[in-house]
Chains A and B, each alone.
Chain A
Amino acid sequence: MRSKQTQVSDRSKGKAGWGLKSAAWFGVLYLNLPILFIVLYGFTTDDASYSFPPPGLTTQWFAVTWARADFWDAFWLSVQVAFLSMLIAMVLGTFAAAAMYRFKFFGKEAVTLLILLPIALPGIVTGISLRSAFALGDIPFSYFTIVLGHATFCIVVVYNNAIARLRRSSPALIEASMDLGADTFQTFRHVILPNLATALLAGGMLAFALSFDEIIVTTFTAGQQETLPIWMFGELSRPRQRPVTNVAAIFVMIITFVPILAAYYLTRDTDDVAGSGK
């Protein structure tokens, strides 16, 4: 282990200077310190304002949050929406990737752009356009309009993962399968799908995480429903029991972080696009 480390540092021409090191640490702190504060204030005894340092530490807010029915309503709504959006994205994203990989057609580049657009556009543009589309179609805002809204950008992460995997696998695999007697459907089932499995799982998990903490598109496509992020936003403006929001935030962190980590490990040994944050 020791000698390996020496080798690596030899190859990278010595250690980083102090300036570079402190810059790197500043960057890490800048990104992560606010998150630490969110966790810290989940334990504060002060229930109306965020004073520093916290006057005392307590775990009572976990019990309080646990007992709040509105928290659980919002939480389960978000889980359901994220799960459904993920499913829609996995089906449509896989099909889109398979079609884009397999066929060449006029306007292919344009279609690629159109698929990627929902994640590239600001959420507010996606949100407004969906809202006006629903209004034009006379579709009442509901649970399903939220799911449809989330699916638009969830498809992108599944598509990206799937097409990256397809591009890396040898096209001869499909020919080999057909050569050995498998028709199109058998080839899809025995060769293409198993090859895509980890990429699809990773894409699906990222899609779940994206949907779970989405607030902008949700604001425009929800009716009376409150997903967890919307519930938290509303909670912030109430004077009482502020740390409940922090506890909820810790929940969101765990629920979104685990799938992202899992997706990273699933695609670690490949050069797949793991996905980009929205």
Chain B
Amino acid sequence: MTEYAIKQLLAGVAVLFVVVTATFFLIQAAPGRLSILADPTLDPSVAAAIERRLGLDQPVAVQYVRWMSNIAQGDLGRSLVFNRPVMQMIVERLPATLLLGFTALLITVLVGIPSGIVAARWPNSLLDQALSFASILGLATPNFWLGILLIILFSVQLGWLPGAGMQTIGQPFSVLDRLSYLVLPAVVLATSTTAELMRYTRSSWLEAINQDFVRTARSKGLVESRVHGKHIMKNALIPVLTILGLTLPRLVGGAAIIESLFSWPGIGSMAVNAAIGRDTPLILGTTIFVAVAVIVSNLLIDLLYGAIDPRIRFD
């Protein structure tokens, strides 16, 4: 187990190193200068000041070492637009993103896994076909478009739910109020991941059905509900854990669009605004932060996976 854990950890660190290096060269390889500096209306002395602040007047090797050591110390630089440390801005907005992300993850798991199991329990039934159709739609729908449609329906036409923001202005915080703002973005964010998880659960379940221990369980005379509820469940759901790890990047990436659409004050909408405002340190810092967060979560999932399923450690 220890050897497996160390291997996973090293791989995680290597990927982080590559991502951080890649972001560095992304700036270095920019055509001519940073696009914010290419603005012809910008005063040359201001441009020079920005270059000096970003250390762009130093040799590449010096810049690279500084970039790496700053990030290793948790320093992601300062925002050009807000003149504040990027890390501080991320920490401020992180709770909103975590709330939205975890709610969407909860919806994904609570809807995706049961519906996948139901589809696999009665394969090719009408229900299975309906669910499969729903998952094809879920994977092909642009989530922001679904968001627009739901805002038009529930906020504009029916007036049941708010379509933007995180709480009613001028009112004290209440759970019910927060939930009313959370429902639409969380549901929209969870659509494609739910569809994906359902598909995966279904095929994982169908694969488990054909294994020897299932035949043994049946030949012992176990009722079908017990075969499914106990023997298949245990074996089918372990691989589902991996796909859950793979849905994290999709969830986080989707959060950028969905937060913007719903004016949700998290790091996703901050990143989009930074990209629109050409605030390079802010967008790069957020990207690196998000990459670290997702890679660390995947690492934890891998370790958990190794602990639950001994087969994986000796792969």
Chains A and B are bound partners = no
List residues of B whose CB falls within 8 A of some A CB: none
